[in-house]
Amino acid sequence: MQILRQIHARILTHVPPISSVSFLISKILSFAALSPFGNFDYARKIFSQIPNPGIFAYNSVIRGCLYTKIPSKEPIHLFKDMVGKGYPNPNTFTMAFVLKACSIIMALEEGKQIHAQILRSGFSSSPYVQSSLVNFYSKCEEITIARKVFDEITERNLVCWSAMVSGYARLGMINEALIMFREMQVVGIEPDEVSLVGVLSACAMVGALDIGKWVHAYIKKRMIHVDLELNTALINMYAKCGCIEKAREIFDEMRVKDSKAWSSMIVGLAIHGLAEDALNVFSRMEEAQAKPNHVTFIGILSACAHGGLVSDGKRYWSSMLELGIEPSMEHYGCMVDLLCRGGLIDEAYDFALIIPTPDPVIWRTLLVAYTKNRMLQKAEMVAGKLLELEPWKAENYIILANLYASVSQLEKVSHVRKMMKENGIKALPGCTSIEVDGFVHNFVTGDWSHPEAEEIKKTLRDVALKILISGYKPFVSVVLHLVNDEEKENVLYEHSERLAIAYGLMKTKAPATIRIVKNLRVCGDCHEVTKIISKIYDREIIVRDRVRFHKFVNGTCSCKDYW
């Protein structure tokens, strides 16, 4: 930049013919805006001093905005300024750069307006613009529109395919992402790191370990370059699919690790309840002089919470503040959870009071803790704050009703049910996925639409008989329906994790591990039942719920019955 400034000064002081000046200034602008050694503020200043910027100048600044640390609407404003002036006419590069800007900040409405401009300008047949449109709509999670644009493209490039794979993956549409991934190979498009990261992310989301392993083998077989992002995606996939040892193996083999890789490993260990291991990795991270970020400390504080390491958690909280990391609501939530799990519930409440504008998660964590300890008066006080913030969230009412049920205040349980009914509040249905033979099967509580529903019912009856013989008694208090106890037991048998586990027992043989992923916390009854099933059927069952992993082996769970 120092040399560039000297050249810039030379041009301005020697004043050659104006056309030459315009050309040279645009080149200086391009370097300042786009080079890794440039200075975008300098580029902005140059641009503001050009009387009639040309298309090259506009494109340079719009594209340069994409590499700034803080995404903004500046590229969109520049584009509007260009169109408003009527000169110069934007080209395909302009459209592609602005669409990328829209995708970064998920500016859906502005992107749609640019799409309309593309159609009016006749650029819709440009492969560069088409792939940018697919990428834009998939990043904005408008996957149906992205697919429509994709289907209209006659010659699809790698960018289009990767955008669709990543788009489906981002929305958790794992089977669609995998179908797209296989189709791109059929037509001879070699997947790149972007599409592979997309597939691995999808596998991580739904716990599709077998598919994730296949992708890993594919990477090795094709000798695809594994960069930091792809390695981190592999660590994340194995950790979230319940194979924490494999995740650790990949992590240990990495020669170069950035903060994201360290953080992924720490978070992975934390959600598996391996608190000491997570803290050891953090110590190694400090020794390697890698700079921890906000995700690192979410993992560390979460690990301390799950491990009951209250004093360690407090120490790391202080370390985070000393490093100048501004606590997010997730950090505050981890600390409240840490104190609650450590039995310091009143201290957790006092801590919540110093949080600037506590969110519902904070109050819900406290409500769960007070409920577990049957501290009725304080629970009701916290529930009041929670219902003020989230009067329409069913989970809040369910926790409160469970509290009243646990202390046998059935009139108040009925009152909570009545409130839910009058306000039209319905509980979010439990949904659990299980991967079998490379396909992800989804089960919803009480939904018998699966093609093998009858076989699943038969397996469930067999399971129910065996667990009853073992001495199991259903926790009917967790069911809020206005039905008798027998009907409540039937509701419990239809919980989504029961359906998924039954399907796993049907389709796999011992000693294969059954792995399932649930969208909600595992209820107390299903947790107890899963422990019994693991012992009776001699099967290891790994459950990832909304909070953490549960590893059931021989009648015990890795969470030690606290989750």
How do residues 71-103 score in pLDDT, each as one tens digit? 889 999 999 888 887 765 688 999 999 999 999
Look at residue 19 and tell me whether its pLDDT is greater than 80.
no
> Cα separation of 172 and 214, whole Å?
18
Per-residue pLDDT tens over the stretch 426-444: 888 889 999 998 888 999 9
> Cα separation of 487 and 21, whole Å?
84
Q: Which of 12-21, 131-140, 377-386 is least confident? A: 12-21
DSSP symbol at 255: S
Determine how β-strand 431-436 pairs with β-strand 514-518.
antiparallel
Q: Which candidate, 367, 386, 387, places its Cα nearest to that of 377?
A: 367
Burial zone of 122 (CB within 10 Å; 0-12 exposed, 13-18 middle, 19+ buried): exposed
Give CA angle at 309 (330, 278), nearest 5°.
Answer: 70
Per-residue pLDDT tens over the stretch 178-203: 889 889 989 999 888 888 998 898 88
Query: Which among 7-11, 132-136, 422-426 has the top mean pLDDT?
Result: 132-136
DSSP letter string, 429-466: PPEEEEEETTEEEEEETT---STTHHHHHHHHHHHHHH
Give the tokens for residue 519: 């969208």
Q: pLDDT-derived band of residue 245, with 50, 70 and 90 as boundaries? A: very high
What CA–CA distances, in Å, run from 238 to 169, 368, 518?
16, 30, 17
What CA–CA distances, in Å, run from 42 to 28, 64, 90, 319, 492?
10, 11, 23, 37, 65
Look at residue 70 and tell me whether its pLDDT is greater than 70.
yes
Q: Bigger pLDDT: 134 or 171?
A: 134
Q: What's the count of helices (H) and strands (E) in the chain, helices before strands? A: 29, 6
Per-residue pLDDT tens over the stretch 444-457: 998 999 999 999 99
Per-residue pLDDT tens over the stretch 151-165: 999 889 999 999 999
Q: pLDDT-derived band of residue 475, with 50, 70 and 90 as boundaries? A: low
Mean pLDDT of the chain: 90
Domain range list for the chain: 156-251, 431-557
pLDDT of residue 490: 58
Look at residue 22 and tell me whether its pLDDT is greater than 60.
yes
Per-residue pLDDT tens over the stretch 306-332: 888 999 999 999 999 999 999 999 999
DSSP symbol at 246: H
Residues 265/233, Cβ–Cβ less than 8 Å: no
What CA–CA distances, in Å, run from 149 to 98, 157, 167, 181, 270?
17, 13, 13, 18, 41
Q: Which fold has domain 156-251?
A: 1.25.40
Question: pTM for this structure?
Answer: 0.77
Q: pLDDT-derived band of residue 484, with 50, 70 and 90 as boundaries? A: very low
